Amino acid sequence: MSDQQTITIEVDGKKLEATPGQMLIEVTDAAGITVPRFCYHKKLSVAANCRMCLVEVENAPKPLPACATPVADGMKAWTCSPLARQAQKGTMEFLLINHPLDCPICDQGGECELQDVAMGFGGGLSRFVEGKRVVKSDDIGPLIATDMTRCIHCTRCVRFGDEIAGVREMGATGRGEHMKIGVYVEHTVGSELSGNIIDLCPVGALTSKPFRYRARAWELTTHDSIAAHDGVGSNIHVHVRNHQVMRVVPRENEAVNETWLSDRDRFSYQALYSEDRLEKPLLRKNGKLVEAEWQEALLEAAGILKDADKARLGALVSPSATLEEMHLARKLLAGLGSDNIDYRLRQGDFRAADPAVPWLGQTLSAVERNQAVLLIGSWLRKDQPLLNHRVRKAALAGGRVMTINPVDYDFNFDLADKRICAPSGMVAELAGLARALGADTAGVSADASDAHQRMADALKSAEQGLVLLGSVAQAHTDFTLLRRLAANIAEAAGLDLGFTGEGANSTGAAMLGLGSGLSCGAMVTQGLDACLLLNLEPEADMANPAAAMAMLDNAKVVALSTHLGSGLEAVADVVLPVASFLETAGSFVNMQGDMQSFNGAARPVGEARPAWKVLRVLGNLADVEGFDQESVMDVREELQAAMGEAQPDNRLPEGDAPAPVLGSSDLQRIGGTPIYNTDMLVRRAQALQHTPDAWKAGLRVNPALAQALGLEDGDSVVLRQAEAEITLPLAVDERVPGGCVWMPTGVPGSELLGEGFGAVSLEKA
Amino acid sequence: MANEVCLRTLHLDRPWLLSSYESEGGYEALRKILTEKISQETIIETVKTSGLRGRGGAGFPTGLKWSFINRSAPGEKYIVCNSDEGEPGTFKDRDILRYNPHALIEGMIIAGYAIGGTAGYNYIRGEFWEPYERFEAALQEARDAGLLGENILGSGFSFDIHAHLGGGAYVCGEETALLESIEGKKGQPRFKPPFPAMFGLYGRPTIINNTESLASIPDIIRRGGEWFRDLGVENSGGSKLFSISGNINNPGVFEIPMGTPFSELLEMAGGMKDGYKLKAVIPGGSSAPVIPGEQMMELTMDYDSIASAGSMLGSGAVIVIDDRQCMVKLLDRISYFYYEESCGQCTPCREGTGWMHRVIHRIENGQGRPEDMDLLDDVTQRIMGRTICALGDAAAMPVAAFIKHYREEFQYHIDHKKCMVGGR
């Protein structure tokens, strides 16, 4: 801000510029002056409890904590004067007297803030000769290992839960030396951002459970990369030993993920080394997939693609595939005469054309400043954890966040308003809100209720706001109609319209122009003779798994995949093992339109190869022109030229909105995909699958419906959708509206079912 | 000259009743303020004139504290009374709650009027069940008489008081930990600034005063600031309650004018028990540095006199120690108290109090080491002035003072593995 005055302070004899209200430690940090600290963290509130950052300040009778001392014009401070040093060393000694000397077996050893600071401020010998404190550790779940004897009570983890995760899971109990950080009643820490307390913990009290005892910090090499499981595009450091990924930690980028990382992005790497990771090409021989040599498999694959009728040739690619992979796949198909390539695998409705390049509609940092946010069909907290964090900041700053959802999804902030209804009712809800705003209701007759009027007023009074369509809306059978209504609402209220997208590279895929031929839905309904699959499992990643599997069963299928699931095993004719995003160079465009490129961090497993290289060879073998790229840079230059001036653009093409097709049947299904079922890597990340957020096999109905059907929690039930039927355990869940069965896609049991929304029936098994 | 202010109803039968209080001029000050519409400034000026200093231990001028509040700020402002009385040796506020609760209630209402607040909380020590019930009964009496609650005495001014029983933690006597405790959180002091006058209870501007300070207010208003000031001496206005205990014949609470010689107080308390010789006095609660007996006999009971001997008047808890007592054993017990009562929030106090206690404990038990005296000196220095609240200082000061005045007793313990007094 230009009107902000600048003041001058003097630290260690150096003149520094500062702004009023800053704490001394912020100014010294910016100037590169080291002040030791444990409890201070720039993203958390000031606690001033560790007393490590004590410095001498002119005219102060005693040393002051730099983290909690506001600067004043002309202030003089000394960070390493005898008084400051004596205070810092005193604190260091106190911190060490009860800290165990177990560095050789501590996972934090080598990257421990206490160890580092002790090198500078600790004594060589301890004067404390009594027994040290021992603290019992709670089991707080599959992600975080606890050794609370090592805790130095900085309370960063406690403040994180309170201030960032929005759930008070950790806390301090007991007094004095008996004070203990833990979960009050032993339970699993369930936040989708919980892994961040591993990074925040300055000692080895909270460490990564999956990483435990796997490697020492000094054995690891660090590689920059981009996380691939949501549209935020979190920046990450990948830590590698012997060409294997050992763990993933956040890399600071204020404009994207700040200093945080979602648990999904942090722990998904475990899937790289799961049992069903593909290490060799597979070919179908006598009806069975058997291992083959690359040469043979590539020739077979190229043959399948080349020989197909070009009108009935298509490709389905993961929305989290890299730009390079998408570009070469599209180029390969184009060379063979087909433009049928799509990435919108879970989209439930293609009746109206998509915007040119769907995106968030705002920058991530702008989301924090919204005065109103309307979430439509979105469990944002679990779907896009760090986008949700930005929305939470807006909510805490007084912004009104409202939802129209088919499930009463839980959020970590207070919603100003929520409309929970069966999926078939969402159209009417949006139309009612549109009516309240005086907007076009897209041909849907609707009345505005008081609640609609209240929400409309909140949207209208916001100077900046966002109407956001989430992944549940995108999977909805009437998605294009919901989208039209949302656009009308956004326009009438003068707010931005946004989409969360399905994967890490949805926006990039649209910028490349994927989806311009037959849509994913059309390919499934019209059928293909030959299909190229890129890193997806048709039984879990498609809007209608049963239909997709049936279609692929009748087609020749070439699959490039990191893993072999039951779907590929059933339908693929050639399976080519490819590198995961951590093992290849590539680029993603995140939901705010940033293109972020990265290099491979680890060596692909077995004979797996980067998919862009496999596609390049396939192009050559299929006799398509222009597949002579020698490096990933060549591919990147080419795709950037192909993207041209493409920019994120959420304007809806002109055209009439389709009429609603999802009827209000007696019993309807609610789909959507839970947080840890979104892609083939996440589904195989063992630790994540043991968290409370992992979808437990089964379906959910509300207590009233369960009672009406004479069912109880845990009962085995038969769910029928069209011709498909499955038997699953039932869970009673108050969040589900009446007349609905919450049975997501991508979860065990959903493979045999059709699309996520529509009529179903339920009875006791 | 005794029992002039807070204990002035004590001579009556059932002194805690509203009728007893009113027979001694009770609620006259409040009536006067409300009928004459005395301005907030005038009240605060009167309190400043009285020289009343915080009776909880810190001795901060009460009128000055009240003037820190931005009275014109919109929204609620709170008066909080600190009846936690946790300092070992202190038991005066308990007697105010028991015998003159209406003086406190009237004082809180006047304070609320003076800062423009409409609600007060009285945080009562967890162990004070009987005084708590008596205070609640007094609140009800006051409400029934129209002296408390909505539209007091028809003046249009409303003020209500809520009693809050603590959970039994010493640290909750620290004013910001007390606020946290009222808010239902773990009792831990807040980092200051911001001070409670800016950001107090529930984030609102708040004045926190000790029970005795607030109970002194009605008489200051009724009889004038000068009257109160002149009871005492220069820089220590008024009279004060002293809780005297230890090796004396008649322990108890005595309200005497500031500046009364210690020797007179000792005499009022019946003198030394069984004729033993005075060895030392802890003049202001267990955290106050100990003063050797002969020096103490020269001092008067006021802020400046006690401070001149390197100690502090504190809460007025006078602990008298005779020459049979082992100073090592005494300090062992005192240091154990602070070790147990540290809240654990900040490092020097959490770790240092336990360390100090362990060292003193091993000296007491004949396992002291030659380097222990220097170690204790050093550890106390590393705690004092390094913590969020004053508990660190409170724990370190007695250790430093005991060693300063009685080093040879500690050294004897270390060298001979036994006690200098009594030959244990």
Residue in B with minimal Cα distance to A60: B385
Say which amino acid occupies A691: T
Nearest to B200 by CA among B348, B25, B68: B68
- CA-based nearest residue to B315, from B95, B110, B107: B95
CB-based contact B345 A62, cutoff 8 Å: no
> Cβ separation of B348 and A54 shorter than 8 Å?
no
pLDDT given for residue A184 in this prediction: 76
Cβ-based contacts of B341 with chain A (< 8 Å)? 175-176
- The C-alpha atoms of residue A158 and residue B318 are separated, in whole angstroms, by 41
Give the integer Cα–Cα distance in Å for A251 and A261. Answer: 8
ipTM of the complex: 0.92
Q: Are A48 and B346 an interchain contact pair (Cβ–Cβ within 8 Å)?
A: yes
pLDDT of A1: 42
Which chain A residues are within 8 Å of B350, Cβ to Cβ? 94, 153, 176-177, 179
Closest CA to B210 of B108, B60, B81, B312: B81
Chain A residues close to B371, C-beta within 8 Å = 127
CA gap B83, A362 in Å, rounded: 54
Q: Which residues of A touch B381 (CB under 8 A)?
A: 90
**Rg of chain B taking only CA atoms, in angstroms:** 22
Calpha distance A741→A422 (Å, rounded): 10
> How many angstroms separate the CA atoms of B140 and B163, rounded?
11
- Sign, CA torsion B303/B305/B308/B312: negative
Q: Do A94 and B382 touch (CB under 8 A)?
A: yes
Q: Would you give the distance in Å from CA A11 to the centre of its chain?
A: 42
Q: What is the mean pLDDT of chain A?
A: 96
Residue of A54, A149, A156, A177 to mutate for B, most B C-beta atoms under 10 A: A177
Write down the residue that tokens 């001795």 correspond to.
B59
What DSSP designation does A218 have?
Answer: G
pLDDT attached to residue B423: 57
Distance (Å, rounded) from C-alpha A260 to C-alpha A249?
Answer: 9
List the beta bridge partners of residue A249. A237
Residues in chain B closer than 8 A to A50 (CB atoms): 346-347
Q: Which residues of B touch A175 (CB under 8 A)?
A: 169, 171, 340-344
CA angle A374, A377, A380 (to 5 degrees): 75
Query: Is the peptide bond preceding residue B194 cis, with omega within 30 degrees of 0?
Result: yes
pLDDT the model gives residue A2? 45
Cβ-Cβ contacts under 8 Å, B193 against chain A = 70
A–B: how many Cβ contacts below 8 A? 98
Cα(A509)–Cα(A201) distance, integer angstroms: 38
How many Å lie between the alpha carbon of A176 and the closest alpha carbon of chain B? 4
Q: Which residues of B touch A176 (CB under 8 A)?
A: 339-344, 349-350, 353-354
Cis peptide before B193 (omega within 30 of 0): yes
Structure tokens, A250: 């956040």
Q: How far apart are CA B101 and CA B98, in angstroms?
A: 6
Cα separation values, A65 from A70, A191, B193, B388, Å? 10, 31, 12, 9
Distance from CA of A129 to the nearest CA of B (A): 9
* Tokens 């222990």 -> residue: B372
pTM of the predicted protein model: 0.94
Pick from B171, B193, B352: which is nearest to A94 by CB? B352
- Binary contact (A94, B186; C-beta < 8 A): no
Q: How many CA atoms lie within 13 A of A85 on its CB side?
A: 7
Residues of chain A under the 70 pLDDT cut: 1-4, 186
Q: Which residues of B touch A171 (CB under 8 A)?
A: 186
> Pseudo-torsion of CA A18, A21, A25, A29, nearest 10°?
-40
Collapsed DSSP state (helix, strand, coil) of residue B121: strand
Q: Which residues contact B309 (CB under 8 A, 6 or more apart)?
A: B291, B295, B296, B299
Q: At what angle do helices B327-341 and B391-416 cross, to 10 degrees?
A: 140
| A135 vs B contacts (CB less than 8 Å) | none
What is the rounded CA–CA span in Å between residue A149 and residue A401? 41
| Cβ pair B350:A153 closer than 8 A | yes
The amino acid sitting at B124 is: I
Contact call for B348 and A91, based on CB within 8 A: yes
Q: Which residues of chain B have pLDDT under 50?
A: none
- Residues from chain A that touch B344, judged by Cβ atoms under 8 A, are 153, 172, 174-179
For A307-355, how does the pLDDT look when each residue is reduced to its tens digit (9 = 90+)? 999 999 999 999 999 999 999 999 999 999 999 999 999 999 999 999 9
Contact: B348, A97; criterion CB under 8 Å? no
Distance of CA A204 to the CA centre of its chain: 26
Residue among A94, A152, A173 minimizing CB distance to B348: A94
Q: 3-state DSSP helix/strand/coil percent for chain B, to nearest 5?
A: 45, 15, 40
In chain B, the residue whose alpha carbon lies closest to the alpha carbon of A54 is B386
What distance in Å separates residue A156's CA from the closest CA in chain B? 12
For strand A7-11 and strand A14-18, is the pairing parallel, antiparallel, or unpaired? antiparallel
Q: Which of A90, A153, A171 sits opposite B382 (nearest CB)?
A: A90
A612 phi and psi angles, rounded to 5 deg: -65, -35
Measured between alpha carbons, how far is A62 from B387 in angstroms, rounded to an integer?
Answer: 10
- Give the best residue of A51, A95, A156 to mutate against chain B (max B CB count within 10 A): A51
Smallest CA–CA distance, residue A11 to chain B, in Å, is: 20
How far is A244 from A602, CA to CA, in rounded Å? 5
* Total residue count of chain B as it appears in this document: 424
- Whether residues A94 and B351 touch (CB distance < 8 A) is answered with yes
| A94 to B381: CB separation less than 8 angstroms, yes or no | no
Three-state DSSP class for residue A423: helix
> Do the Cβ atoms of A301 and A617 come closer than 8 Å?
no
- Element (DSSP H or E) covering residue B132: helix B129-144
CA distance B270 to chain A (A): 39
- Chain A positions with Cβ closer than 8 Å to B: 46-52, 54, 61-63, 65, 68, 70, 86-87, 90-91, 93-95, 97-98, 127-128, 130, 152-153, 171-179
Distance (Å, rounded) from C-alpha A236 to C-alpha A225?
5
Residues of A in contact with B171 (CB under 8 A): 175
Closest CB from A128, A130, A177 relative to B344: A177
**Residues B286/B401, Cβ–Cβ less than 8 Å:** no
CA-closest candidate to residue A626, choices A609, A636, A638, A641: A638
State which residue of chain A sits closest to B356, comparing Cα positions: A128
